[in-house]
């Protein structure tokens, strides 16, 4: 079957298709998950028309239907596992981070969320039989913490060419939440030309938290964050990719989720992330990972260490 394009949506001719593409709605899937209000405003079409287009895109993109269990089993056969670098940590996750899913790492500052991200980025470039995905990596860096020097150290330890490894890691600095969201569209574009099976968002929530302050802004923040998470999940499904996101726990009680040890983004992030891992500091430089809320694995903990060479047992 030929791949459908925007022009296959009933009522979308070349003129509207162009407007849609210009506004960044380049995929049927992006339109199918858009809100009528956004689509109508950004493309300057009536809201009723926008609704029709979204409905049409849903049909063309073949989403929103039911799948039988055996079809899901078949799709899950293509799930890959990306190694964290630590055997204990991998075991906790049933072999590593799963593709076609979002894994969230949350914890306070210095709990090594960013260190884990570096290691995942380096590991993803390794061949599959070495725990990698043999792929390029996209890293959305919202806190300006990407350090090529760290990648070089880890690559050296693994005996792979540091320069080549760095060439496969595509880093984009996200300047604010809106920019961060747009970068996911850019990532979809980039993934058309090369194999990208790991996308990292470090940190997922910091811009949202800084920009949507107070109780009054909470509903909007959660709604936008929810859509962002779904864009990420969409990327994971389209590219059989691993998505790793980080999230700080609120040092001060969050406006809504009063508990200070709760991850930012609360229910929205929690419900869309398939795996949630709580990282905390242990004794003598060790770090502890706790698996929370997994659909198929028991809750448990793993101890790992962060050294100059990277993440290890
Ligand atoms: P925030 O982003 O501030 O929330 O923190 P984070 O969870 O991302 O923490 P990050 O990953 O930046 O962890 C920093 C910690 O990693 C430091 O406190 C060090 O303990 C450890 N670390 C970083 N680089 C090295 C290194 O080269 N060698 C060793 N042994 N440890 C390192
Ligand atoms: Mg960090």
CB of 61 sitting under 6 A from ligand 1: no
pLDDT at site 267: 60
Q: Which residue has the tokens 């890691």?
A: 169
Ligand 1: nearest atom to the Cα of 150: 27
Residue ranges covered by each domain of the chain: 6-61, 76-312
Q: Which residue has the tokens 């790793």?
A: 244
Residue 109 CB less than 6 A away from ligand 1: yes
Place of tokens 């939440």: 177
**In the prediction, which pLDDT does 71 show?**
82
> How far from chain centre, in Å, is Cα 281?
24
User: How many A from CA of 77 to the centre of ligand 1?
Assistant: 35
Q: Which residues contact 116 (CB under 8 A, 6 or more apart)?
A: 84, 105, 244, 279, 311
- Bridge-partner residues for 289, per DSSP? 279, 302
- State which CATH number among 3.30.70.20, 3.40.50.300, 2.60.120.10, 3.90.1150.10 fits the domain covering 76-312: 3.40.50.300
Ligand 1, atom nearest to 110 Cα = 9
- Considering every ligand atom, which ligand is closest to the CA of 281? 1
Sign of CA dihedral 248, 251, 253, 254: negative
Nearest CA residue ID for atom 29, ligand 1: 307
Q: Which atom of ligand 1 is nearest to the CA of 105?
A: 7
Regions of the chain short of the pLDDT cut 50: 1, 254-258
Q: Which ligand is nearest to the CA of 202?
A: 2
Q: What is the pTM of this model?
A: 0.79
How far is 307 from 204, CA to CA, in rounded Å?
A: 25
Q: How high is the pLDDT of residue 255? A: 47
Would you say the CB of residue 107 lies under 6 angstroms from ligand 1?
yes
Dihedral Cα 149, 201, 169, 24, nearest 10 deg = -140
- Contact residues for 120 (Cβ-Cβ < 8 A; gap 6+): 82, 84, 97, 137, 198, 200, 242, 244
d(CA 80, CA 162): 24
Nearest 5°: the CA angle 241, 170, 130 is 50
Query: For residue 196, what are the β-bridge partners?
Result: 136
User: What superfamily would CATH give domain 6-61?
Assistant: 5' to 3' exonuclease, C-terminal subdomain (1.10.150.20)
63 CA from centroid of ligand 1 (Å): 41
Q: Which atom of ligand 1 is nearest to the CA of 143?
A: 2
pLDDT for 265: 62
What SS3 class is residue 129?
helix
Ligand 1 touching residue 177 (CB < 6 A) = no
- Give the chain's end-to-end CA distance (angstroms, integer): 48
The ligand 1 atom at the shortest distance from the C-alpha of residue 305 is 30
Nearest to 248 by CA among 145, 84, 110: 110
Ligand 1 within 6 A of 53 CB? no
The first and second tokens of residue 85, run together, are: 């670098």
């Amino acid at each position: 079957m030929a791949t459908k394009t925007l022009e296959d949506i009933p009522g979308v001719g070349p003129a509207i298709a162009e407007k849609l593409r210009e506004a960044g709605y380049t995929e049927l899937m992006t339109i199918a998950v858009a809100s009528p209000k956004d689509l109508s405003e950004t493309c300057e079409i009536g809201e009723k028309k926008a609704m029709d287009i979204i409905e049409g895109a849903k049909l063309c993109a073949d989403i929103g239907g039911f799948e039988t269990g055996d079809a899901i089993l078949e799709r899950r056969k293509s799930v890959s596992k990306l190694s964290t670098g630590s055997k204990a940590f991998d075991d906790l996750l049933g072999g590593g981070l799963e593709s076609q899913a979002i894994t969230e790492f949350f914890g306070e500052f210095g709990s090594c969320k960013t260190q884990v991200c570096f290691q995942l980025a380096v590991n993803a470039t390794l061949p599959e039989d070495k725990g990698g995905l043999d792929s390029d990596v996209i890293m959305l860096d919202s806190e300006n913490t990407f350090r090529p020097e760290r990648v070089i150290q880890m690559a050296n330890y693994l005996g792979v060419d540091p320069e080549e490894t760095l060439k496969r890691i595509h880093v984009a600095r996200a300047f604010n939440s809106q920019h961060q969201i747009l970068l996911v569209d850019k990532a979809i574009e980039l993934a058309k030309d090369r194999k990208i099976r790991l996308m990292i968002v470090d940190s997922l929530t910091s811009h949202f938290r800084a920009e949507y302050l107070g109780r009054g802004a909470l509903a909007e923040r959660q709604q936008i964050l929810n859509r962002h998470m779904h864009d990420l999940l969409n990327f994971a499904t389209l590219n059989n990719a691993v998505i790793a996101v980080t999230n700080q726990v609120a040092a001060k009680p969050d406006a809504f989720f009063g508990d200070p040890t709760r991850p930012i983004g609360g229910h929205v992030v929690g419900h869309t992330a398939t795996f949630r891992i709580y990282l905390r500091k242990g004794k003598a430089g060790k770090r502890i990972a706790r698996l929370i809320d997994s659909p198929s694995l028991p809750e448990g903990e793993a101890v790992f260490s962060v050294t100059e060479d990277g993440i290890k047992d």
